[in-house]
Amino acid sequence: MPNAPVKRPRRSTGNAAVVLLGDSRMMEFTQMPETMFAALGHFGMPYRLFDLARRRPTSRDLAGAAAIIIGQENLGLSIDAAEQGLILSAVKDGTGLVNFDCNLANYDDAFTDALGLAAPGKRFEIDGVSAIGITGNEHTIANQQENTAHHRLHVPLAGVPTRAKGTETTVLAECESGAPAVIATTIGRGRAVQWLVSPRLWTLRHFGHAHGLDDLFWRGIVWTARKPFAMLAMPPFVRLRFDDCNGLWRGPEDLAFIDVLNRHGHTPNICLCMKAVTGDGWGAMKRLYDEGRAEFAPHIWKGGVSLFYGDEDGEYSTETFRELISETKTLFAEAGITPSKILSDHNHECSSRVLPFLAELGIEYKMNIMLPGETRDSVHIDWRPLPYGSMSYAFDTMPGPYPLFAVFNHHPHFGYSHSYIARNRFVSNRDGGPGPYKWDFLNGLTKSTLGANDLNAMARRMADHTRLGVNSLFFGGSISHSHFTTALTPGEWDEVLVRYEALTNDMETINAGYDHIAAYARSRFHTHLDASTRRGNDMAIKLAGEARVPLELSVYHDRDNGIERQFKAVKPFSGRSETLFTV
């Protein structure tokens, strides 16, 4: 599987930014773009790289930061005992510390003692790690994980067995051997987190970002950092999306499940079979649209027949696309509905010939990462979308002359269905992804397959998709299709959502429409937290880039040994924007 795309660090200034320590003389520095730079950039976290190859740190460098991140494997070889003492002094005075370098044999005894860690033998030895489990979710860093959650790595990596000592050290996660994988502790007035597995964990080869542990990464930094601490992160948005691939949604009765979704606070993105909808159906959709209760998008032309690619005779001609898009536009206009701005292409297939006509429908975004011209069964190009090069979670502008912005969240198991035939070429060898996490949360769980609807399993899949997306600072939410949704009665829909809410009631979530999430993600993608500074009771934030929609800064405060988020609004801007507020 290819590595993540190279992403250069974008420097942030100010005393409310974090300092990321690295040493470009060392081979391990080459891992940093994938393991650290991409993640901190995606999280919207203000940081600056301090390269030990260029100069040595002073107490002023370290104390003048919200937190210190040791983000490079074996960096202990480059930090002498005196510099380790400077780090500990800064932490004792209130600066946070997160150390991703697990090779504690390279650190002074005073450093490991301060972390509350001891070697099980005479010294810290390297061991293999193949899985990480959550030992308890009471600590604020882990409280959005499910208790006893188990995360298996793709390829084992190095870890350092330790034992925790002292009452201040909390084990957040364990290796399968029972040795700590992540610990949190306090040092003087400051807080610290130590990872005891190699930072190669964050490479796609071994495990990767957006695979289930990112909340421990970013929440660990937030917990340790001096407060207030501000990030330009994605809010915890959740959306639901539904496709009609067979022309099953015709009249108002077929859309009754939307009423249940609305009662639970959801604004679903409904993707239509254009020729199946009746006059009464368009009328029902118009009422839902006017009341802001649903978004509607063109999906296919008629049952099983694509709108954006072709039919059984092959890819449509340019003239056919002109006619189909014109008629689609007319149908929406006559109903008084503005279609969703997100391209909902059946089977993730769209022709390059249709791209010039998408603007007529107002389409600006794509709900998947498959490139124009590719079919589901063809060879696909892995274009390594940002931030992580993942073909499951992506915010990035698609290459080509009509650059749609991809806003994509599929469970990582979707990626397991890809067989690579070259470094950046793959074919899909399974439909919907293997194992329990089909990318459709109802697939295989309805009465047509089981003889009865498995409502518990539906709620579980829905909750897992939401938890993974939100905890990775993308967005949560599931998708399904009309041939599955029609198997549920309104009462069963209600029960699924009640059970889903019980599984996610520990999480911070904001139900939103897909169009809003896409517009927000694009503006967030094109902006950067340039400076973050505390000034007495005030905080000054400088942003650079372009935001076409209002954004929300996530501002964290300490509350009862935990963290609490407040949102601070940022108006649309182009160029630079400064926000000043009292904390």
Are 218 and 275 in a shared domain?
A: no
Residue 1: per-residue pLDDT: 45
The Cα–Cα gap between 439 and 240 comes to: 12
Give the residue from 486, 515, 544 where a domain finishes. 515
pLDDT value for 434: 58
Q: Other C-beta atoms within 10 Å of 262: how many?
A: 16
- Tell me, what CATH number does 97's domain have? 3.40.50.880
Query: What is the model's pLDDT at position 140?
Result: 96
Beta partners for residue 170, in sequence order: 184
In a domain, 521, yes or no: no
Position 367 in a domain: yes
Looking at the fold, whether 173 and 144 belong to one and the same domain comes out as yes
Q: Which residues pair with 229 in a beta bridge?
A: 556
Q: Which amino acid is at 232?
A: L
Residues 262, 388: one domain? Answer: yes
Other Cβ atoms within 10 Å of 123 Cβ, number: 8
Give whole-number Cα distances, 287 to 135, 253, 257, 283, 334, in Å.
Answer: 49, 14, 15, 6, 14
475 domain-assigned: yes
Which range of residues forms the domain containing residue 22? 18-226
Question: What are the tens digits of pLDDT across the range 108-165?
Answer: 999 999 999 999 988 999 999 999 999 888 999 999 999 889 999 999 999 999 999 8
Residues of the chain with pLDDT under 70: 1-9, 430-435, 437
End position of a domain, from candidates 489, 515, 541:
515
Residue where a domain terminates, one of 199, 226, 253: 226
The reply to whether 209 and 274 lie within a common domain is no
Is 276 found in the same domain as 184?
Answer: no
- Total number of domains in the chain: 3
Q: Is residue 2 part of a domain?
A: no
Query: At which residue do the structure tokens 């007035």 appear?
Result: 189
Q: What is the pLDDT at residue 430?
A: 65
Supply the pTM of this predicted model.
Answer: 0.96
- Same-domain pairing of 219 and 302: no
Burial-class residue 574 by CB neighbours within 10 Å (0-12, 13-18, 19+): exposed
Query: According to the model, what pLDDT value does residue 9 have?
Result: 65
Q: Rounded to an integer, what distance in angstroms lies between the CA atom of residue 457 and that of residue 446? A: 10
- The phi, psi pair for 221, rounded to 5°, reads -65, -45
Q: Whole-angstrom Cα distance, residue 51 to residue 93?
A: 23
Same domain assignment for residues 74 and 161: yes
Has residue 204 been placed in a domain? yes
Full DSSP string of 30-74: GGHIIIIIHHHHHHT--EEEEETTT----HHHHHTSSEEEE-STT
Do 215 and 241 sit in the same domain of this protein? Answer: no
Judge if 221 and 245 occupy the same domain.
no
- The CATH number assigned to the domain holding 489 equals 3.20.20.370
Query: 541 and 434 in one domain?
Result: no
- Asked if residue 221 is part of any domain, the answer here is yes
Same domain membership, residue 473 and residue 368 = yes
Give Cα separations from 352 to 314, 316, 349 (angstroms). Answer: 13, 10, 10
**Between the CA of residue 171 and those of 153, 159, 217, 472, what are the distances in Å?**
19, 15, 14, 21
pLDDT score, position 64: 84
Classify residue 60 as exposed, middle or buried by CB count within 10 Å of its CB (0-12, 13-18, 19+). Answer: exposed
